[in-house]
């Protein structure tokens, strides 16, 4: 019983940390894409 509880808590922590990493990565990717678009628009004018 204790072992399964520890496993469940560990799995929860892993899922939470992965979701945070994905959020940070998607934020960074969208920021770089926005910067690229702004840079290209500035070069056009």
Q: What is the dihedral of CA 35, 38, 43, 45, to 10 degrees?
A: -170
- Spell out the domain ranges in the chain: 20-45
Query: Is the pLDDT assigned to residue 9 strictly greater than 80?
Result: yes
pTM of the predicted model as reported, rounded to 2 decimal places: 0.56
Q: What is the pLDDT of residue 19?
A: 94
pLDDT in tens, 12-30: 999 999 999 999 999 988 9
Query: Is the pLDDT assigned to residue 43 strictly greater than 90?
Result: no
Contact residues for 26 (Cβ-Cβ < 8 A; gap 6+):
none
- Cα angle, residue 42 at apex, residues 28 and 37 outer, rounded to 5°: 30
């Amino acid at each position: 019983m204790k072992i399964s509880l520890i496993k469940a808590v560990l799995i929860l922590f892993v899922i939470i940390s992965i979701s945070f990493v994905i959020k940070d990565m998607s934020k960074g990717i969208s920021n770089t894409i926005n910067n690229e678009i702004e840079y290209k628009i500035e070069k056009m004018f």
